[in-house]
Structure 1
Amino acid sequence: MSYLLLKYLHIIAAVFLFGFGMGSYLYLIAANRSGDPRVIAAVARMVVRFDAWITTPAGVLQLLTGYAMVSMTGMPWSADWLRAALLIFFAVGALWLPVLLLQARMQRLAAQAAGNGTALGEDYQQMYRPWLWMGVAGFTGMFLIVLVMVTKQAPWQWL
């Protein structure tokens, strides 16, 4: 596989991570604001599905194509910007699994409330708040990774 094809796939994976990730995040925030368990359950079901089928594989593709490009070019793994990008990538990834689990639990609680014709309970809100803030942290990290990749500088080199 050529370097340019790998780079293309790497960029497309980043677009999918951002696009589907941010879209899912914003849709679930909007659904939550409705306060309607039926809306939240339906949107959360799609968000969980899209994150499992599209966003997560895009993250795996991002890692694989990045590894292949570094290996192909013989770039040193000790480069500050590369180590910074990997550190941020794995930190964002460490947030991803809890986010997926919270989304699935939130969807189940919303579906139960919708089925019972009741309002969402405090247990839902106790999951929503950390989900929201982990999303903020994760997307901040993703913006930072792109900046590191474009500038080929680690954040501590910007000062």
Structure 2
Amino acid sequence: MLYLCLKYLHVIAAIFLFGFGMGSYLYLIAASRTANPQVIAHVARMVVRFDTWITTPAGFVQIITGYGLMRLSGLSMSTEWVLMSLIIFVCVGALWLPVLLLQKRLCQIAVQASEAGAVLDVRYATVYRAWFWMGVMGFAGMFVIVLMMVTKMTPVQLLGYWL
């Protein structure tokens, strides 16, 4: 029963990571496309808040429940798909803090432009570009991790299976 509870929490946390993470990402992209500093400032504030209080804790729940599931199922940390998913998770996590800081910076730039009645300058575009591509890399890693969780195979094993 403990295993099923942990698995349930693990899946729910994954849904929160994807759902809130992807939702925040897409909303900030849509807001940025308006080039309206007021819209961007409002959306960026919400995105930072959601990512800080919902998405980030979901990542910690993933770590705790994943470790518990591994222990209860008798898997070793050296099991290929477990080790590979952990390495990718750490890489995605290493992108997370800079992404959160860049979101805060995007918000600050938008607030400053809004208060000054100005348009967004090149600083916004530079920070946005870095934030966007770090998000692409992070979500690509998350997709691969979910694929490994479902199949219990590494990407290389999956390619060998399909070829």
Structure 1 length normalisation: TM-score? 0.98
Q: Is the 8 A contact 1:31 1:43 kept in 2?
A: yes
Q: Tell whether 2:135 aligns with 1:132.
A: no
Aligned mates of 2:36, 2:156 — CA distance in 1: 45
Aligned mates of 1:76, 1:119 — CA distance in 2: 54
Structure 1 consecutive aligned stretches of length 4 or more whose deviation exceeds 3 Å: none
CA displacement at 1:74 relative to structure 2: 2.0
1:146-157 to 2 correspondence within 5 Å?
Answer: 146-157=146-157
Q: Tell whether 2:102 aligns with 1:102.
A: yes
RMSD of the alignment, in Å?
0.9
Structure 2 length normalisation: TM-score? 0.95
CA displacement at 1:31 relative to structure 2: 0.2
Structure 2 equivalent of residue 17 of structure 1: 17
Q: Secondary structure at the match of 1:120?
A: coil
Structure 2 equivalent of residue 66 of structure 1: 66
Query: How many residues end up aligned between the 2 structures?
Result: 159
Q: Secondary structure at the match of 2:48?
A: helix
Q: Is the 8 A contact 1:84 1:155 kept in 2?
A: no
CA displacement at 1:94 relative to structure 2: 0.8
Q: What are the superposed Cα offsets for residues 52-90 of structure 1, whole Å, 9 maximum, x if unpaired?
A: 000000000001000111112221111100011101111
Aligned mates of 1:108, 1:130 — CA distance in 2: 16
Provide structure 1 residue ranges, at least 5 long, that are not aligned to the other structure. none
1:5-84 to 2 correspondence within 5 Å?
Answer: 5-84=5-84
